Structures are given as C-alpha cells and as structure tokens.
Amino acid sequence: MATGAQIIARALRDLGVTVIFGLVGIPVVDIAEEAINLGIRFIAFRNEQACSYAASVYGYMTGRPGVCLVVGGPGVLHAIAGIGNASGNNFPLLVLAGSSETTGVTKGAFQEMDAITLLTPHTKFAVRTNSLDSIPGAIRNAYRTCWYGRPGPTFVDFPADIIQGKAAADFKLPAPENVLLPSPPKPSGDPATVLKAAQLLRSARAPLIIVGKGAAYARAETAIRELVERTQVPFLPTPMGKGVVPDSHPLNASSARSAALKNADVVLLLGARLNWILHFGAPPKWSPTAKIIQVDISAEEIGRNAGNAELGLIGDIGLVVEQLSTKLSNWRYQPSPTDGTPFPSLLASSAKKNEAKAEKAALKPTPPNTPLTFQRAYHIIKDTLNSLSPPEDGQIVYVSEGANTMDISRSIFPLNHPRQRLDAGTYATMGVGLGYVIAAHAAYDVYPADKNAAVSPPKKIVAFEGDSAFGFSGMEIETMARYRIPALIFVMNNSGIYHGDSTSEDAWKSLQSQTISNDTKSEEDHKKGLRSTSLLYEARYEQLATMCGGKGHFVRTEKELENATRDGFLESNTVTVVNVVVEPGVGQKIQFAWQGGKDEGSNKQAKL
C-alpha cells in the first residue's frame, strides 16, 4: 500500500528526475527518503535560498527542470529567492513543498501559510494537491509547464495528510513509459520574416550578433558558430552567453563592447533580452537608428523596449539560425570603403586600446606590503589555472558573484565552451554563488543514479566570491565538504560591499574603538562610525573550510596566491577556500560596471 511520499517520489523518478536539491523537515523528510530509496540523489543544503538557487541553475545547465524540495511556511518564504531568480533568468524550476494538514487550514496549524495565493503571481503554475490520486498529474503538469515554452518556476504544495496518507489497495500509478516527457517541441521562425532579416543583414554597414544565455540554454552553439564563420559578422556575448562562440575567436567584440553597441546598425539578438544588461537597446549606448532582429522563444519578448515586432522571430534559436544561414549561404560581410571607418577597424582600434589598459593593470607587480589589486590577483589565478588546464580543454566551470568580483572577472577568464560561466544573471542576485557551485558539480559530475546525465566528464568548479556575496550562503561550504565537492573558491576580500574603508588594520581598529586622531577629517569620520558598506577587516573566511575538514588558505602576496591556486585546483577530495586580501578601493563609485558610463576596457580585460 503506497504512501503519498512514495507516490511523489515515484512520479519524480518516472519523469527522469535524478537529483533533488532541498532542505528537509516535517513533513517533507518522508519524500526525500523515498526519493533516495528509488535512486534519486538528494543534496541537502543549510538554507532554502541556496538550494532553490542551485535547483534553478541546474535546470539551465542540464536543459531539464531542476527540482527543489522544502518545508512549508518559512521554507517556502526562503525558497521564493530561487523562484524569483528562476523567473528573472527564465530557468526551468520545479519547487515542491509540504504544508499543514488539510483539516488545520485557518486554525493556526504548524507553519500554516497559503502558499498558492502567495506564489501564483510569481510562477507559471501553482497547485495544491487535494488527494493521492491527484499527485502524479499535478507533478507532471508542473514539470511540463516550467520546461515548455519560456522556462520559469512552477510550484506544487503537498499537505501533510497527503504526504503521510496511504492509497487504497487498488491504487495504481501509471507505467513509467506513459509519463516520461519528451523535450519541448522546437518551432521554426516565420519564413517571410527570416527572409526579411537576412536581407537586412546583407545590407548592413555594421552588423553585429549578440549571443545571450538563451542561446546557451537552447544548445544552439553549433549553428551559431557556423553562422559566424560563414558570414564573418562580429559577435558580442552577454556574460552567460560566453563560450557559445569561443572567446578566442577573432570576431569576438567583447573588448570593444561599447563601440560595438554604439555603432552597429543591424543587430541580430540571439536569446538575449533588451533589458538593463543591454541598456534596453536605447541611446546613448546604442545607435538611435539601429535595427534589432530579436530571436526568442517567447512571443512576449518580441518588440519589447527598442525591439521592432516586425523584425522579431519567434522560435528555437538553433533552428532559426539554421534558417538564416541558409538565406545567407552565399553572403559574407565585407564593409564598404565608402562608409567611413570600417566597422571591423573601429572595433579593432577600440579593443586594442582597452586591452592595453587591462594588460597594464594585470602585469603591474604588487609592491611590498601592499594589497593585491583585483586585476593582478586574477592575472595570477588565470596564469596558474591555464598552466594546469588550458582553456581550450573546457575542464573548468566558472562561477562569480559580487560587484567588483563579478564585473572584473567576467572578461578575464576566457571560455571556449558554453554553459561554463555562471553569475548573478538578469536578476543580479547576490548569494547565488555557492548554490551554483553545488549545482554545477551535480550537473557535470556523473553519479551512479545519473544514467542519462546531460553533460560529462566531471569538471573543476572555480568560484570567485565577493566577501559580501560570500556571506549570504557561506555555510554551504559545509554542504560541499559533506558531499566531498572539490570546488576551488576564491573569496575576494576587500573588507566591504563594493569597497572597504581602509587598507590599514590599525586604522580599522581605531575606527572600531572610536580612537580620535589629530586629523580633523579623520576625527569626524571616526565619530560617524563604520560606513554602511563596511565589513570586518581581513575576516578569516577560509576557516569555514578548515572547520569542516576542507582546505583553507589566507593570502596576501602574489606567491601565496599562486601556491594556493595550484593546491586548490589539484585537490580532488574536498572543498578549498582561498581568502584573498585585495585593495579596499576606497572612493570608487558604487555601481555595477554594466551601468557605468565608461568603456569596458577601463577596468576589465576581455580576451587577454
């Protein structure tokens, strides 16, 4: 006689679910245990936010929905963070939760909360099961809905009496072959609009292809690489679109991002949205006369902001790109000498200038008794990692979060393969990093239960965490140690959010004790106390790893960083945290680099 928990676990297994990310308690612990009994790997976290983040990005990396299991009430409230992240990034995510008994609703039952009313506006589908018979259908519909069309989060609520209830003796689950869902159907673009888009590209003076993370999710890399090679049109990847076309490709315009956007007259937008990351497609970042060809799976995205609905192509990115390639089979971009400075020359000039600035910052040695800069630290890490695993091998997955940490690292570490760089994404969510590390390990490592794993072989996960971002989910280091995840995590410690207060430990201690100096300005600053962006000076974050059997390194010098990077990369049995003390950056403007007015080369490097 099957219980509700057994029926739930069986329904998930029959849909092909091999990993569940979660945090258990009454009553969902029964679901987790039954799932484990069926061979599903359950990864138990320390906070529902982290496990919901992990499940959401697992869906992006594998191409199948990630599954998150939490308790009701406060568990659901914490998991809303991942639901919002999945919605903002269009990741397929199925969230399952337990709730109070049906008979206890409105009575003040244990962790009672109307999760359906709360989550309906923030999910594609939310349902509360009311019988054991309804479980398989509810899970199947939620799984299909989060995956098909424009991906996003869905939610199924299981009352405690349903989870713990027992089915009638004649109850039978559908046979597994009747419930397995095929991958979502792939629509092609409208042929007339494909022809119009191809003609527009042919007539362009300065064409540009923008590759978004939607293209990576769609597994469209082969078609896009062939299009770039055939047409010789420059391309610009978004942060998580990196690697769809190798960063090393000579047509990569990342080093000249601002120049590319400002001067392009026809833009083919593949799986990216005209949101804040792309400045809404509007001046002054873009040319006011630019024509934008949007290719997206979602009809609602076409024509948004500076987009033109008449040029939009709704369909699977891979198929649409193949259609365009056919129409452009005998065309190769060649700038006209009568149009002033050719577009490729303009991009090359801008890239050369920006890369020279970045190279100067990266190669400048660190003076004695002076903190490392972000650029110098990343240069040392990159050189060390490249010596251990060349970029063309594609054996490293990069995770990054934090303002300076993410913005500067984004373009320093080259990628030649897609879906191997994860960051705060469209929602700019801080705290995703450690959950993403665990999800990446699950996605790229082949466990016994994952007979149909989407990707292999196992890869090394390398994360760059701002000290502030690390604090959101630092206890997940214990999760990594528990599951023996050999991730290499760098905490870029500048003692603050965006920037710190001081490079001097004595100055920090003075500020803490309100000691008054002879300097009038310092005296006033001390009276005001710590700034809102301040964090503890040189906090020993690496000890979170050593306390649970992992490896920790506290780094102040270039040689210490090189040695710690090498040791951490070669560690194969447990997590390593490298705590890198970098300059606080006092006085720097507080903003994401995407929002700034300067060209990207002023503080980053793209293809070094």
Render 534-592 in DSSP notation, one character per residue: B--TT--TTHHHHTTT-EEEEE-SHHHHHHHHHHHHH--SS-EEEEEEB---TT---S-
CA 193 to centroid of chain Cα atoms: 32
Residues of the chain with confidence (pLDDT) below 50: 446-455, 503-504, 511-512, 514-517, 587, 594, 597-608
What SS3 state is found at 80? helix
Q: What is the DSSP string of 498-531?
A: SS-S-S-HHHHHHHHHT---S-HHHHHHHHH-S-
- What value does the mean pLDDT of the chain take? 90
* Per-residue model confidence (pLDDT) at position 531: 81
Q: Is the pTM of this model over 0.75?
A: yes
DSSP 156: E
Select from 66, 397, 473 the least CA-distant residue to 240.
397
pLDDT in tens, 467-488: 999 999 999 999 999 999 999 9
Q: How far apart are CA 298 and CA 294, in angstroms?
A: 10
DSSP 443: H
Select from 288, 266, 285 the least CA-distant residue to 277.
285
Task: Check if the beta carbon of residue 70 is closer than 8 Å to that of residue 97.
Answer: yes
* Per-residue model confidence (pLDDT) at position 169: 76
Half-sphere exposure of 418 (CA within 13 A, CB side): 24
First vs last C-alpha separation in the chain: 63
Select from 444, 438, 541, 540 the least CA-distant residue to 482.
438
Q: How far apart are CA 270 and CA 256, in angstroms?
A: 19
93: its two tokens? 């995510």
CA angle, 491 then 493 then 498, to 5°: 110
Q: How far apart are CA 270 and CA 215, in angstroms?
A: 6
Sign of the CA dihedral 556, 512, 403, 471? positive
Task: Check if the beta carbon of residue 451 is closer than 8 Å to that of residue 423.
Answer: no
Q: Give the Cβ contact number of residue 524 at 10 Å.
A: 10
pLDDT in tens, 381-437: 999 999 999 999 999 999 999 988 998 998 899 999 999 999 999 999 999 999 999
- Amino acid (1-letter code) at residue 22: G
- Tokens 């650029």 correspond to 375
Sign of the CA dihedral 467, 471, 477, 479? negative
Q: Cα–Cα distances in Å, from 130 out to 101, 103, 122, 590?
A: 10, 11, 22, 50
Q: How far apart are CA 125 and CA 235, in angstroms?
A: 36
CB proximity list for 153: less than 8 A, separation 6 or greater: 56, 82, 83, 86, 87, 91, 93, 94, 95, 122, 123, 124, 146
All domains of the chain, ordered by start, with CATH?
A: 4-164 (3.40.50.970), 191-341 (3.40.50.1220), 364-500+535-581 (3.40.50.970)
What is the spatial order of strands in the sheet that 460-466 belongs to? 421-422, 396-401, 460-466, 488-493, 576-581, 551-555
